[in-house]
Amino acid sequence: MIKKIGGVVLILILILGGFIFYGLFILDVDKKQQVQTSLDDSYYQVADLLGTDSLSSPNPNKNAYFGDLHIHTSNSFDAYTFGSLSDPDMAYKFAQGESIPHPTGYDIKLRRPLDFYAVTDHGFFLGLLPTAADTNSLFSKYEYTKPVHNLNESRPDGFLEVFKRGGLFTNFARTTIEGIRNGTIDIDLIDNVQKSVWQETIKAADDAYKPGIFTTFAGYEYTSSEDLYNNYLHRNVIFEDTKNLPDKIFSRLDSMNPEPLWEWMNGLRENGVDSLAIPHNSNISGGSAFSNNDFNGGPIDDAYASNRLLNEPLVEITQAKGTSETHPLISKNDEWASFETATPPRYPSNEMKNIKGSYVRNAYLRGLGFEEKGIVNPYKFGLIGSSDSHVAGGSYNEETHFSKIGMVDGTPKLRGSVPFNKTFGYIMSKIPGSESEEVSRGRASLMKYVDNNYYLNAGDRVIHFGASGLAGVWAEENTRESIFAAFRK
């Protein structure tokens, strides 16, 4: 009797699995519904008329230049986990108007080339995931790297693959940090990987640099936070030039406190290497981005303020993960104050006590308050936008939106924008949400039922992503020296 019941259960499971497989892989495999793939070639003709290969003379009255200073490639551990194979060379090709592959199987291309670009992969474990995936590498011999072996050798097309990859990089990062701390992982081996990839990053910037036509900057992301996705204190470090850059970059493994980062930058500046750090996503900083105190809770004084102003003259006010200008609870009479400020309920920045330290308008107000007390204003900064793309190319408009995390949100169905077939949507709605941290935090079911349709419950982060943003500067010419000087001004 028990065997019969078990057999019936097994048959039901197989039937259910067959329905899901059919719905996910057969019905939907040819329905990416990606606007990018169906655009007529005439959409891109604007780029051909721009004369981007013509060298212009310096303009003392200045020109407007536009670019992106926040781009991730396959050298970032999270980007690689979600299928990105585009390296820094390909990122710079994208910025100049060439098409590059998206992890979900279509090509992405700009309507018109950009004027400047910076690849800013995570300094934290730079290039380590691709190295761990390469079974010929020495690092791949560590037992805990097995789940990522040959990860992107083939990239199956389907939602189950997304769920499978969901927790890979957070688990990998935490295990690596733990291994470094307890001495079971050779830190020198990791350093050698990071140094090598950093040199490749610099070379890619130099190879793509065309003074007067297209400007590139060497850079990386300093990824400091209380947890990987909570209380953001992330910054992109941008170098003015590529001469005499350090072999090893300063990352969260050196300190979670941005103030030692500034001291490291000051030391480089004394040797003729200028740089600036650009904070981003203050909207999810838990109030720590523009605090009334320093990182350790001490009072802000002139020395702190001057150091911050020197090293952080800019803030990235908008990007794919939202806009950090203001909040409805701060600007109650501003009807646009809620624009792209939605963040997951679990984020500490949603608590009223933290909102004022998370948004730019209030930072400006706090800065004036310091001035009234006779203290140097630490929050006198300019503003830029950038994309935070993790597929080597930014998604800057809704018409061709492909979001930012590759296999996680690269199609409208994946990010919960387009409804599923109702039959299979209903079946999937009965499946509990995945435990994957990145893909499905905060959801109890795989599907959401809205207006008589089933949508993929894309998680509490992806659903809020938008098409954004770009950095704009006024500069005499399109060169590193001129555009970097504009950043500082």
Q: How many domains does the chain have?
A: 2
How confident is the model at residue 429, as a pLDDT? 79
**Residue 55 has what pLDDT?**
67
Per-run averaged pLDDT (10 residues), the chain, 489 residues: 54 51 44 49 54 71 97 96 95 97 93 97 96 97 95 72 75 91 95 97 98 98 70 90 97 93 98 97 89 93 98 96 91 90 60 82 97 98 97 91 88 84 80 48 68 80 84 98 97
**Amino acid identity of 7?**
G
Reading the block at residue 488, the tokens are 């500082």
Q: What is the C-alpha to C-alpha distance for residues 76 and 88, in angstroms, rounded to an integer?
A: 11
Clarify whether residues 115 and 12 are in a common domain: no
Tell whether 93 and 239 lie within a shared domain.
yes
| pLDDT at res. 464 | 79
Per-residue confidence (pLDDT) for residue 32, from 0 to 100: 47
Structural domain contains residue 372: yes
Domain limits at 69?
Answer: 62-408+463-488
Judgement on whether residues 258 and 279 belong to the same structural domain of the protein: yes
Same-domain pairing of 399 and 429:
no
CB within 8 A of 316, min separation 6: which ones?
69, 70, 236, 278, 279, 280, 281, 324, 383, 384, 385, 386, 469, 471
| Phi, psi dihedrals of residue 335, rounded to the nearest 5° | -70, -15
pLDDT of residue 158: 59
The pLDDT of residue 209: 98
In this structure, are 208 and 158 located in the same domain? yes
pLDDT for 195: 97
Does residue 54 fall inside a structural domain?
Answer: no
- Residues 9-54 have pLDDT tens digits of 555 554 555 545 445 444 443 344 444 544 556 656 554 444 455 5
Q: Measured between alpha carbons, how far is residue 40 from residues 16, 28, 36, 401 in Å?
A: 40, 23, 9, 16
pLDDT of residue 145: 95
Please check whether residues 306 and 376 belong to one and the same domain. Answer: yes
Predicted pLDDT at 338: 86
Structure confidence at residue 424 (pLDDT): 78
